Structure 1
Amino acid sequence: MNTNDEDAVFEALLDYLKRARGFDFTGYKRSSLKRRVHKRMASRGINRFEDYLDYLEVYPNEFAELFNTILINVTSFFRDQAAWSYLQEHIITSLIWGKPEDEPIRVWSAGCASGEEAYTLAIVLAEILGDEQFRQRVKVYATDVDEEALAQARQSSYSTKELEPVSLELRERYFEPLGDRFTFRADLRRSVIFGRHDLVQDAPISRLDLLVCRNALMYFNAEAQARILNRFHFALRDPGILFLGKAEMLLSHANLFTPTNLQHRIFSKVPQINLRDRFLSFSQANDDRVSTDLSSYVRLREVAFDKSLIPQMVVDVNGNLIFANSSLRVMFGLVQQDLGRPLQDLEISYRPLELRSQIEQVYANHQTIIVRDVTRQQLDGRVQHLDVRIAPLEDDNGEVMGASVAFTDVSRYHELQQEIQNSNQKLETANEELESSNEELETTNEELQSTNEELETTNEELQSTNEELETMNEELQSTNEELQTINDELRLRTQELNEANAFLNSILTSMKAGVIALNRQFQVISWNSEAENLWGLRNSEVQGESLFNLDMGLPVDQLRDMIRRSLIGEKTSLEITLDAVNRRGRKIKCRVVCNPMFDSEETTQGVILVMEEA
């Protein structure tokens, strides 16, 4: 099967999971998804996706095992200790003290797995607020798509090894011993609410102060990440904090979140500015008459600005587009949703004029700048000529609040000028050279823009590679934990086997008769100390050797018939007395008893020879 056919079958498998069990994996990265599904298929001895799809249809219980394999629940208390310390000391503390004392604090742990992250949040908040304030004000919402992991999280029960990242002081304060495990304090546990939630499909929890989603986004493709981040932006208050994993940098989502500390992947929400609401809320703080007048006044100013024939826009000191009248929106193809976005993200910031450097100069000099004769290529091929006026906007105290940018169309003036220049060939030639220079400049600008886009693409590819490596790292960590569990089981079984062997050896040693155990090939598998005393051969010398090849004082050939009879199924003991010579060279009468040796299914595995001097 070629790659395209295999991909098509894999997509059919994902579609079946969505239809049959309501779980949508289509937003997950295909590379990591295929690795996890292949791992589960290998455990069932299945090589092809279509065969595994048939298997799922026949054995519905396989769904749960497949989900457990795909959903990698790698987590721990205070994972990345340095990041948690920074969050507690610099972020959460400021967030809490900036709120009124009676206002609730809402936190969401998205992708909480078995609950360690949610209880870490509870510990951090309780340390800052104290137990009483924590119980009264805090709600920690912890969600995941894995019901089995959520069930474990709700029990809040952890082993000593799982609590190793928690200091002894915090462990004694927040966990109570229960047998050989520890449970989170019940009075604080009531503030932690667990529930199933699909980041791709379900509506987000709202009015949050802090949202923690660590190493979950890296499993989704770019489109699903964008949808989830938009929901996170909606879920957070202004201002709100987003805490991500070390592989997640949000390089292409600067319009939603801005880094507070990029090293520790802590971001703050970029608020969506709506000045009309700000003015109206200000007016509502006054009496009804003043409120009505101010609201009408603000609305009148907005309408007058919007209907102005001169294309104009207003940029605040943070570089965000605040106002753009209808003339400017039509001229440059802007839409209402562009208001509030960073100017640098819009084409108008560099075409037809590089505005950001001009605006910075206006801020620095507190003076208006007029850039004349700026050319702009229109869709119908005509060249439009503009004079661009950039003026600072200052309050009564002379503090710069932003800048006003107006575009005056002087194309008609240039047309008249061109008609005059047509009478002079030299001027016409000069004009052609000027147009050629403009074209070269525009080509250079486009090349620079293309280079910039290539660099952005390369950066996104590097980020995707980083996320993929982190995903594989978590998969390896999960596999390592599974191997550790298997290793512990093998160690326990080895210990039990050693104890059984020691017990068996003590029995053989304590017997006053020589005991020799043979397998079906007549090879020695056990030779006790009394046998060594009788025949002078040590256990290490005879292990694995055929009894009939041993040089000893017992005529072993005379035992051959008795041994064979035991091997073919005679269940009674067989006995013979032989003339022999012991290790000291003394002639003795040796009584040999032969018994068959059976396994648990009553199959003969060998014989046991018991020898003693008659």
Structure 2
Amino acid sequence: MTNPPPEADDEFESVLAYLKESRGFDFTGYKRTSLMRRVQRRMSQVGAGTFADYIDQLQVNADEFVALFNTILINVTGFFRDPDAWDYLRDQVIPALLAERSPEEPIRVWSAGCAAGQEAYSLAIAFAEAIGVDAFRQRVKIYATDVDEEALAQARQASYTAAELEGLPEGKLEEYFEQYGGRYSFRKDLRRSVIFGRNDLVQDAPISRIDLLVCRNTLMYFNADTQTKILERFHFALAPRGMMFLGKAEMLLSHTRIFEPLDLKRRVFRKVANSPVGYSHFVSHGYPGRRPADVSGLDQLREHAFSASPVAQIVVTGEEVTALINQQAEIAFGLSERDIGRKLWDLDVSYRPVALRPYVEQARLERRSLRIKDVEWRRAGDVVWYEVHVNPLLGKEKSLLGVSVVFHDVSWARLLLTELEHSNRQLESAYEELQSTNEELETTNEELQSTVEELETTNEELQSTNEELETMNEELHSTNDELQTINDALRDRSLELDDLNDFLESVLTSIQAGIVVLDTEMRIKAWNRGAEELWGVRREEAEGTHLLNLDIGLPLAELRPVVRDALGDAESSAELTLDAINRRGRAVVVRLLCSALRGAAGKSQGALLMMEEVGRPG
């Protein structure tokens, strides 16, 4: 093939410059020979004779950008595509992400624009390699989304040809895939941590609290304004100090924007905490002349926007004074403008439908957002379910401005969960029946096949029967595959239900000290992990047992009068230092705090014990 004349190279560079200026994507890092060949292929399809003619086509037909990008990015999806960038992700990004989190803390990953799933499964392999298969199954959730339902269906199958697996590092095929005929399926135990779903990046709400967001060569299909909106959604989706991994063709973000570049060459960025989100933070290099419009009256606009929000919201200052109440909060909880300026704890909403004080205090002290799930509120004979978000409002240098309490009405979700559980039970029952039938048919097939093999040389009629049985076996395998698909869908639903229940457990579990909650009869209502570690009694053994009947190394006789005081007096609170025997049989000194569990009416409804090992007997 002869080299193009120098003037053709200059004209081709003008096409790349136009793509960079008009759409904000840089293809100059691609190999010129293959890149020019693909552009010329598209030019021939639209009848453009020269590069200048093709630029005219792009100017008058915005849809041509999508067709061109699809032509340039042939076979864009693949395992570990752009190995150098993935090596950086595995060697630098994932270790840094893990170092900032405790060994038990869950990790949430979002693969946006996942196509047929190769990128999502590449992420699964990378994290499994970093923390081990067992820890991966317990800690990591990978949410893979796309707008293409056919691509999502293929991704859920997790089945690929040998050619589609060419990007896998050496040795990973045998470790992470199982061969069925001429195709390879991703390991089922790891597949359960990858959740596929449809999400339109432009219209649908983003997934929240994401630690690592991967969106490679997807933004280029949108114009500059839409890119800005999507990047703002990505900024919202990321957890504090969350990281974002883009494709190599996408333009670099400015150092002063809401994403801090960690490696510009490989397009890895970190979320900048507390940065303002606006159009100016996402302006591409190709738009130096764009200026924001002059907007006045923003304070009044923000005030009306807050008041008209469809979600009930209350904002308190750093001194716990009620500063803002929107219309939905007034309607839902009987508040009014007269309550602004009062202490939050003087308002009924501070303790019903849920006691807010510990969560607000925790959000203030830890500077992190909290969620309170499954909050029931009975109002005018109706039951409303809320998910309450408690968010610290931080200023510059992480100074606390106040705390926002948002009540999200999730009654529809509760109803949906009930329906899903019912459907889940029905599907499980049907699956068990079909599985039993399948096993019986396979047993019958084996018996018939054995008879056919013995008689096939002498009886042509039995040979015909044998062929029919083989056909039946193939149909059974097809039925089994369909049942497997149903099973995967059931697991996906189960994982979603698990996510809804995990948070309720996490608050009690995350407290390292031993926590025991007693009812008025001194029976144990709650027994956390710290208590298990201290006394060696599992939660299921302790809960429901009378405290004085519990066989542990704590001198219960000394504890009895203190507990009885707490049960009789709502203001009771006591601290003891006791000699005890821990679960390992060692003598220890335990500091024990006992306080009454005060109800809404001010009476004791039980007792709360906090126990912590403070040393050994002198």
Question: If the length of structure 1 is used for normalisation, what is the TM-score?
Answer: 0.35
Larger Rg: 1
